[in-house]
Amino acid sequence: MPRVVVCLVLVLAALIGPAACGDANVPSPFVAAEAAADGATDAPAADQQSDADPTLGAPCSDDEQCDDAIECTFDACDLTVMRCRHTPDHSLCIDDVHCDGSEVCDPKLGCREGEPVTCTDQSTCTIDRCIEETQSCENVPRDVDGDGDPDWACGGTDCDDTDPTVAGTFDEICGNGKDDDCDGEIDEAECITPAFDTCGKALEISAPGQYSLGLAGLSADYGASCVGTGAGWKDAVVALIVPTGEPIDVDVVATTAVGQVALAGFEQCGVAATETACHSSLPLGTGGQISRVRLRALGPGAHALVVFGNGTSPVTLSVQFLPQSPKPDNETCGTAAPAPVGANFLVPLIDADKDLSLGCPANTGELVYAIDVAQAADVHVYAVSVDGWGKPSLTLLEAPCAGASSELACSVGDAAHAFTRVTTPQTLYLAVAATAPTLLDVLVVLSAPTSPGPSETCATAPALVPGQKQNIDLGTHTDDAKLGCLSGAVDAAFALELAEKSDVLLITRLAEGDVVSTALVRPPCAGPSDVVSCTALSSTPLRVARQAVAPGSYRVVVESQAGSNVELEALVRKAVAPTLVAFADSCAEAIEIPLVGGMFQGNSANASALYDVGCDFGGSGPGGAPEQMLKLTLPSARRVVLDMLGSGYATLLNVRKGPACPGAELEKSCAAGYGSQRSFLDLSLSAGTYFVQVDGYAGQSGPWLLNVFVLEP
C-alpha cells in the first residue's frame, strides 16, 4: 500500500491509540486524491478512493441518499466529490463505563470497544488499577502483607512484607522476640506492652463517656460474623460494667479516621456462638468509618464487647448507658407503626434490618410507618439527625408497598424532605433509613392539596427555549417520571422541539449536596426505553450531550434527590459532522473552529508538549502534557461554551487571547477535567482571535472530544 495511504488510514484510527506516519505531511485525513495519485493500481478509481478514505460511500446528489444504517456516523452528501460521506462520531459510542476504554465509531462496523484503561506506571513496586467511581488511575505501593507499609525494596520501611505484624510504622512490642518496628533491634527499651488484647486483659468501662482505644501491637484473636478476614485486622476487648439495678441498654459508637472498624457483642467473651450483636464498618460523610451497636437489656455485671479494626489510627468509643427498650419491630409494611401527624417523633436506626428493596440510597436497615390520609392532601415528611452520625433517607410508598415499584418520593440529605400529593383517601407507608446508624427526628405534615404545575409531567411539559436558562424549584414537585436515571427522586419535565437534525447539549447547575439527573427523553416518558441519554451526578454543572438528534418532539427531565433548586439550559445547533483533529500539534497547525461551533475529536497521545497550562498543578515537566491546538476568531462579542464530556483521560482545557500564539492567559478560562465529565468552560469573549489548547491534567494524554457552541452574548 502506498505510504501516504497507510498514513491516512492510521490517522482515521488515531482515537484508538497513537499512530506514527513518519514524515508524511497530510493536512487532512480526507485527502483521497493524494492517495490515488501515489502509485498505479488496476482497481477502479472509485475503489481506490474508498480504500484510501473509509468514510466515503456511494455516489449521491443530496443527503437523503446517504443513510448507511450505522448509528454512530454522520451521513451527508459531499458535493465536492458527489459521494456520500459517513463521518464517524465517537461521542455517540460512549458508554457509562470508563475503565473499559474509550469507545470508537468504525465507519463500516459501528461502535467498537477501545483499549481498556491499563493505568500501568511501569513499576513492579505498585499495583495498578482503574477506579471506575472516580474515573481515574490508582497506583498503590505493593504491600503483600497488607499492613500499610510497603516493602523496603520498594521505598517502604517494612523489613518483612510477609508478616502483617511487622512494619517500620509500628511500635516495638515488648517481650515477643521480634523486630516489630524494623529498626534492627529487638525488644529495645522504648517498646510498648499492648493493652486490652484478650478477654483476660479487657478495658473496663463502667460509666458513659468517650474512650480512645489504640490498636498498635494488637493481634487478631477473635472473630465475628460481620468482620472481614483480610490481613491487617486486629481486635481489642472491652468489658462493659453494668451497675447494680435494673437491666439497661448500652449504645456504643466506634469511629476511626483511617481504616475500617467493627463492633461485636458476646454473652461469653471469646465464644463466637454467643454473639448477640455485630455491626460492620460504614463510611462517615465527614470522612473516616463508623460502627454502632445497641446492646439491649444488659443486667448488672461485665459484658463482652470486641472492637475490630484494620487501620493505624486510634478508635474512639462513644458509650451511652440508656433505659432498657425493646428492638423496634416495625420492620416491614405489614408491621408498620402508625406515624404521628403534626408532631415530631424519634426513629432509632441502630439495629434495624434491611427488609425492603428501595431505590432511595441508604446503608442502614429501615423502619416503616403508616400514614393514614383521610382526604386529598399534600404529604410532607421532614427528617434530621439528632446525633449527627448519619443522613436521613426517606421513602414514601403506596400500597401494596412492594419496594421500588411502589415508591412515590425519595429524599436523602442533612435535612431530608419527601413530598407527594394524595388525591383520594388511602394509607401511605414511610420507610425511614440513613447513611449510617443514627437517631432521627421525623415530622409528618398533611397540608391542603395543591395542584401540580405544568412541568410536573411529560404530558403537560412547558417549552424549554434553547439558550434560555430555566430556574426550577423542585421542592414543589413529585416523582412522576420512572426513567431509571435516578430512582425515587422528584422531577420536572420540559418540551424541547427540534425542527431539524440537531446537536444538543443540556447543562444543569445544581445545589451543593444534591444528586441530580438530567435526561433527554422521547414522549411519553413511559420508562427507560424512552430515554435517549441521561446522566446522574452530584457535581455541577452536569452535562448531557447528544449529536445528530433526529427532528421531533422531546422532553428534558430533571430529577433531584434533595428537591432543591436547579438551573437548566438547552443549547441546540444544526447538526454538523465531527471534525477529526489529526495533527494540530502547534500554533502553526491550529484547527479553525467555525462560528457555528462543532464537535472535534483527537488524540493528544500523538502530540508534543509545547505549551504550559496555567491551571495544571505542576510537576509534569517543561511544557506540561502533550496538547493539540484549535483557533477561534470572533468578529464580535460571543458566549462560547466548550465541553469535553466523553474524553478518555483527565483533561485540561485552556482558552487564551491572541493574536500571538499561544496567547495571553484569561481569567477563569482554564478548566481541569479530572472528574467524570471532564473539562467545561462557559465564557463571554470579546471580538478577537483565541487559541484553544486541549491538554492533559498532571501529564495525562489520550483520546479527547471537544464540543463547542458559539452563541450570541
Q: Residue ranges of the domains in the chain?
A: 3-112, 199-323, 333-447, 454-572, 579-711
Q: Which pLDDT value is given to residue 22? A: 36
Q: Hey, how many other C-beta atoms are within 10 angstroms of the C-beta on 123?
A: 13
Q: Which pLDDT value is given to residue 10? A: 38
Domain range 579-711, CATH architecture: Sandwich (2.60)
Q: Which pLDDT value is given to residue 37? A: 32
As a CATH number, domain 199-323 is 2.60.120
C-alpha dist (Å) from residue 575 to 74, 75, 534, 597: 9, 11, 20, 10
Q: Which pLDDT value is given to residue 130? A: 87
C-alpha dist (Å) from residue 184 to 145, 148, 157, 534, 545: 19, 19, 12, 59, 60
DSSP 48: H
Q: Do you know the residue count of the chain?
A: 713
What average pLDDT values come out for the chain (713 residues) when binned by 10 residues? 38 41 34 33 42 85 93 93 94 85 89 85 87 81 82 89 83 85 88 87 95 87 86 89 96 94 96 95 90 96 95 91 96 96 96 90 95 96 96 93 83 91 96 96 97 94 96 91 87 97 97 93 95 94 96 97 93 95 92 96 92 72 85 97 94 94 92 91 97 92 96 93
Strands 579-581 and 598-603, bridge-based pairing: parallel
Is 3.40.50.150 the CATH number for 333-447?
no
Q: What is the pTM of this model?
A: 0.78
Q: CB–CB of 93/604 below 8 Å? A: no
Question: For the CA atoms of the chain, what is the radius of gyration?
Answer: 31
Query: 17-26: per-residue pLDDT in tens?
Result: 443 333 333 3
Q: Please give the share of the chain, as a percent, with pLDDT higher than 90.
A: 65
Geometric angle at alpha carbon 36, from 35 and 42, rounded to 5°: 135
454-572: what fold? Jelly Rolls (2.60.120)
Element (H, E) at 34: helix 32-37
- How would you class 471 by CB atoms within 10 Å of its CB: exposed for 0-12, middle for 13-18, buried for 19 or more? exposed
- How would you class 622 by CB atoms within 10 Å of its CB: exposed for 0-12, middle for 13-18, buried for 19 or more? exposed
Distance CA 313, CA 319 (A): 19
Query: 679-695: per-residue pLDDT in tens?
Result: 999 999 999 999 999 99
Distance CA 251, CA 421 (A): 38
Q: Which pLDDT value is given to residue 231? A: 66
Q: Which pLDDT value is given to residue 13? A: 42
Strands 337-338 and 261-266, bridge-based pairing: unpaired
Q: Which pLDDT value is given to residue 49? A: 44
- How would you class 660 by CB atoms within 10 Å of its CB: exposed for 0-12, middle for 13-18, buried for 19 or more? exposed
